Amino acid sequence: MEMDLNQIEKAALRKKRTQNIVVYTLLTIWGLMVLFPFYWMVLSSIKSYSAYNSEYVPRFFTTAPTLQNYKDVFTTVPLGGYLLNTVIFTLVTTTVMLLVTVLAAYAFARIDFAGRDTLFMIFLALMMIPNELVIITNFVTITNAGLRNTFTGLILPSVTSVFYIYLLRENFAQVPDELYYAAKVDGTSDFKYLWKVMIPICRPTIITITILKVIECWNSYVWPRLITDDQAYFLVSNGIQEIRENGLGRENIPAMMAAVVVISIPLIVLFLIFHKKIMEGVSRGGTKG
Amino acid sequence: MEQKSMKGWLYLLPALIFLGVFMVYPLADVFVYSIEEGYNSASQTYYGVGGYNFSYVLHDPYFLQAIKNTFLLVVITVPISTGIALLISLGLTSITKFRDFFQTVFFLPYVTNTLAIGLVFMILFKKTPYSDGMVNMLISAVGGSTIDFIDGPYWAKMFVLCFYTIWIVMPFKILILTSALVSVNQDYYNAARVDGTSKSRIFWKITLPMISPSIFYLIITGFIGAFKAYSDVVALFSTDLNAAGMNTIVGYVYDMLYGNSGGYPSYASAAALILFVIVLTITCINMLVRRKHVYI
């Protein structure tokens, strides 16, 4: 009897081990699939132009790494300018978005006024409107206003996000009413209450929407492409497309890869620092596409 | 009370202005554009009102090609990516060691610039006179014949597009499914184990029903996302998508608006509205199916 039990235990252990091997193999394979393109772009970016082009069969390593390509992308094409534009665009858009969102969310969550609930329903309905429908008129509006190839034109249609207002309102609404009444008794103004109490309490949500917006801004492509055709106002996505089509010469793949690495690094660093927050934020309400 | 109302509207004012100008007005305007026939954006005149724009778009071979490409992309990538994501999430939740590490790595594609990484995929799959490229090297290593995935036959281009799309959408799906799997109440599993239920039965009768809301959420967002595919296609095949025969519906809208064949906001509006109707219909069908099959 004891023998049997031992054997059963052993068999179960063996089964568990086989299962583990299968699972870890599967996960490792997918991990390699995810990481390989990153490895390849870094590898290609440190190969010299002549070395890269002489490899009919690409090699998985390089013996003579060079940083020349990184120099090239900052000197022969205005990658620095693209980066600067994107930083300005991201900072301003995110700041204005936060301002608009916080004020609107506070009004919906805290201030009682006639028509509030109806208005909130309309806001919720707006969440279903796809960008593709409104972008056509926005393009015409911005063009007619003479705002093509300006930061104003880039930023204005990008600042509002109904979804973030909704997300923050839900969070604001969870703050107990007693705090508000106590503050009112003390003679605190609404604005001061919002600034000193609500924002600190709801900081995690605010950080989440900030990060999501920064990612969105850094990667935005469609609107900037429509509204800018002057290189001086290109963001990185359009910059990389420009580099690919006209910039470094079609065959200078190593330099292109250097540009890709430079563009990818800021968000990857941001992700490595905040990966818990980002993943939590995305599972609460991010989508892609 | 009156003062309070004022204050409320004041706080909302910035949001209302932005939404009014860049969302509500355009929404009304897109319908107007779509029925103005022969609209000329230079002189801002049009001949008449009617359904001609829709009929033009629906007869445009480029649009029909875009519809075909988009539908293929949707039908191929949504089931495959959801299936693989489920498999990976099941794997992730069954281990403890390195779980955080794997989760972080798997999420990486989400924070990358679609245009930039698309260029890397293009290089991996492209065949040039100087080099067969990485993927072709693997193909010839296992004895296949090399093929240009970027400028070659249609199915090859479609394959790369689907492959890249799946790679891009996986992080979100894995994240959602993993958190759904983790939040399934352990009592159900313990009860099943006491009864000696087999593993596959546990999966089909407990796990799958419990996470079915998340799966349907992913299918719906996956459909919507894939129908709106655009920048990843540009990343692989460059901006002249009509020439590559790889345009999507959204790409068609933007090409009509701007670019080489641009200057036709009316056609763009009609195409955008057709896309909206397609997405709305599919979402409604999904919702109906969901009502039948989701348990919670």
Residues A36, B246: Cα–Cα separation, whole Å = 25
Do A172 and A275 belong to one domain? yes
Q: Select the highest-mean-pLDDT range: A48-57, A174-183, B37-46, B71-80.
A: B71-80
Report yes or no: B121 and B164 within 8 Å, Cβ to Cβ.
yes
A contacts of B226 (beta carbons < 8 Å): 289
Interface subset of B 42-61, CB within 8 angstroms of A: none
B contacts of A106 (beta carbons < 8 Å): 11
Inform me whether the pLDDT recorded for A242 exceeds 60.
yes
For residue A288, give the 3-state DSSP assignment.
coil
Question: Beta partners for B34?
Answer: none
Do A180 and A73 belong to one domain? yes
Structure tokens at A39: 């490895």
DSSP, res A158: G
pLDDT value at residue B261? 66
Do A234 and A131 belong to one domain? yes
In this prediction, residue A288 has a pLDDT band, given cuts at 50, 70 and 90, of: very low
pLDDT average, residue stretch B170-195: 90
- Please tell me if residue A181 touches chain B, with a CB cutoff of 8 Å: no
Cβ–Cβ gap B110/A141 under 8 Å: no
Enclosing H/E stretch for A88: helix A79-110
Cβ–Cβ gap B134/A282 under 8 Å: no
Enclosing H/E stretch for B246: none
pLDDT value at residue A3? 63
Q: Which of A46, A66, A86 is the last residue of a domain?
A: A66
Interface subset of A 144-163, CB within 8 angstroms of B: 156-157, 159-160, 162
pLDDT average, residue stretch A240-258: 81
For residue B40, give the 3-state DSSP assignment.
strand
What pTM value is reported for the model?
0.90
Q: Does B43 or A77 have the greater pLDDT score?
A: A77
A159, exposed or middle or buried, with CB in 10 Å at 0-12, 13-18, 19+? buried
Cβ–Cβ gap B111/A215 under 8 Å: yes
Q: Does A31 or A113 have the greater pLDDT score?
A: A31
Q: Does A58 or B115 have the greater pLDDT score?
A: B115
Which residue range is the domain that position A207 belongs to?
A: 69-285
What percent of chain A is modeled with pLDDT above 90? 38
- Please tell me if residue A35 touches chain B, with a CB cutoff of 8 Å: yes
pLDDT value at residue A289? 35
Residues A139, A148: Cα–Cα separation, whole Å = 9
DSSP, res B296: -
Question: What are the start-end ranges of the H helices in B183-239?
Answer: 186-194, 199-202, 208-227, 231-237
Pick the CATH number of B61-293 from 1.20.140.10, 3.30.1280.10, 1.10.3720.10, 2.40.50.140: 1.10.3720.10
In this prediction, residue B177 has a pLDDT band, given cuts at 50, 70 and 90, of: very high
Do A60 and A165 belong to one domain? no
Residues B292, B296: Cα–Cα separation, whole Å = 11
Quote the minimal CA–CA distance from B93 to chain A in Å: 10
Q: Which of A19, A41, A66 is the last residue of a domain?
A: A66
pLDDT average, residue stretch B200-205: 89
- Please tell me if residue A27 touches chain B, with a CB cutoff of 8 Å: yes
Interface-testing mutation among B16, B35, B115, with chain A (most A C-beta atoms within 10 A): B115
Do A52 and A118 belong to one domain? no
Residues A287, B149: Cα–Cα separation, whole Å = 28
- Please tell me if residue B230 touches chain A, with a CB cutoff of 8 Å: yes
pLDDT value at residue A236? 92
B contacts of A263 (beta carbons < 8 Å): 113, 116
pLDDT average, residue stretch A257-271: 92
Report yes or no: B126 and B149 within 8 Å, Cβ to Cβ.
yes
pLDDT tens per residue across span B3-31: 777 888 899 999 999 999 999 999 999 99
Residue partners of A21: CB distance under 8 A and separation at least 6: none
- State phi, psi for A248 to the nearest 5 degrees: -90, 5
Closest Cβ opposite residue A260 in set B91, B116, B231: B116
- State phi, psi for B36 to the nearest 5 degrees: -85, 115
- Please tell me if residue A240 touches chain B, with a CB cutoff of 8 Å: yes
Do A121 and A62 belong to one domain? no
Residue of A nearest to B32 (CA): A137
Q: Which of A42, A66, A90 is the last residue of a domain?
A: A66
Closest-CA residue to A141 (of A162, A123, A157): A157
Cβ–Cβ gap A288/B167 under 8 Å: no
How distant, in Å, are the alpha carbons of A8, A10, A143, B195 from that of A13? Answer: 9, 5, 69, 20
A contacts of B86 (beta carbons < 8 Å): none
Do A49 and A90 belong to one domain? no
How distant, in Å, are the alpha carbons of A114, A243, A261, B60 from that of A175? Answer: 22, 49, 43, 55
For CATH 1.10.3720.10, the residue range(s) in chain B are 61-293
Do A158 and A180 belong to one domain? yes
- Please tell me if residue A32 touches chain B, with a CB cutoff of 8 Å: no
Inform me whether the pLDDT recorded for B163 exceeds 50.
yes
| Number of compact structural domains in chain A | 2
pLDDT average, residue stretch B133-162: 88
Cβ–Cβ gap A253/B123 under 8 Å: yes
What count of CB pairs under 8 Å joins A to B? 258
Report yes or no: B114 and B171 within 8 Å, Cβ to Cβ.
no
Closest Cβ opposite residue B18 in set A137, A160, A237: A160
Residues B148, B160: Cα–Cα separation, whole Å = 10
pLDDT tens per residue across span B240-277: 888 889 999 999 999 888 766 667 888 899 999 999 99
How large is the angle between the packed helices A253-285 and A79-110, nearest 10 degrees? 10
For the four alpha carbons of A52, A57, A59 and A63, in that order, the dihedral sign comes to negative
The least confident of A51-60, A196-205, A256-265, A273-282 is A51-60
Residue of B nearest to A42 (CA): B120
pLDDT value at residue A286? 57
Inform me whether the pLDDT recorded for B40 exceeds 70.
no
pLDDT value at residue A265? 93
Q: Does A23 or A184 have the greater pLDDT score?
A: A23
What mean pLDDT is reported for chain A? 87
pLDDT value at residue B19? 93
- Could you report how far apart the first and last alpha carbons of chain A are, in Å? 60
Do A102 and A139 belong to one domain? yes
What mean pLDDT is reported for chain B? 88
Q: Select the highest-mean-pLDDT range: A170-174, B166-170, B196-200.
A: B166-170
Cβ–Cβ gap B131/A157 under 8 Å: no
Residues B89, B87: Cα–Cα separation, whole Å = 6
Do A265 and A177 belong to one domain? yes
Write the CATH number for A265: 1.10.3720.10
Structure tokens at B237: 């095949």
Interface-testing mutation among B81, B93, B113, B134, with chain A (most A C-beta atoms within 10 A): B113
Place of tokens 């352990």: B186
Residues A20, B255: Cα–Cα separation, whole Å = 50
Residue B204, amino acid: W
Inform me whether the pLDDT recorded for A157 exceeds 60.
yes
Quote the minimal CA–CA distance from A157 to chain B in Å: 6
- Please tell me if residue A68 touches chain B, with a CB cutoff of 8 Å: no
